[in-house]
Structure 1
């Protein structure tokens, strides 16, 4: 069979699914050493640490939420969003090496990794639903 005929007989490539979005909630508890720092020093440490993430990891979005008025143990929540888990891993490692997230400043209580609308994706993968209903990241 001629080579051109073989190429025409090949199946078209399957469409590449969009990258899977992940949202990760990192629950922190501020330690007495953090609370003892002057507000200006806390803000400077926080700004420097967050800018390292913002400037180095384009596929990672990070937001910091104050939870101290609403939770007994958890004082702060870092909300990470990404479609690139290896880059997220590097961003977390960078933040953990920074004085901001030092053990004397914050205790890491829990990390909760989620998939937005994961139940719909599961339904589609198992033939029980339609993935087109799953919102995609902007």
Structure 2
């Protein structure tokens, strides 16, 4: 994972659903698996990617979590997916329900337009 700040060119919303194997582990076991199996695989192969996690199981039965990935470029994102597929994360502990990949304000960037977003502080 990167240590410096960067402007991501691609954002991926990874919609996942926990498996019974994941839920059958204690919280301590989950943290152990994540920190010893999944994170090292990512950090060994991927640069210029950062992530955030969102719990959604309170509001939907279709997915339990959304993992938001921001990558400097498409190759960094592709390397991330390849790294995850080689771990127990992919299809053992989590079912990847859907990948939604996009470019923030792509339309405005392509046409040289101003971007608009709402911010209420």
Between stretches 71-80 and 45-54, larger displacement belongs to 45-54
Q: Which of 67, 74, 79 matches 2:63? A: 74
- Give the match for residue 6 of structure 1: none
Query: What are structure 1's unaligned runs of at least 5 residues?
Result: 1-18
Give the 3-state SS of the residue equivalent to 1:62 in structure 2.
strand
Give the 3-state SS of the residue equivalent to 1:87 in structure 2.
helix
Using the size of structure 1 for normalisation, the TM-score is 0.68
- Give the match for residue 25 of structure 1: 13
Q: Which of 46, 59, 64 matches 1:57? A: 46
How many residue pairs align between the two structures? 109
Query: What are structure 2's unaligned runs of at least 5 residues?
Result: 1-6, 117-121
Deviations 1:28-55 (A, max 9, x none): 0001111111211111112231344245
Q: Is this contact kept in 1: 2:9–2:74, CA < 8 A?
A: no
CA RMSD of aligned residues (A): 2.2
Q: Which of 25, 35, 48 matches 1:37? A: 25
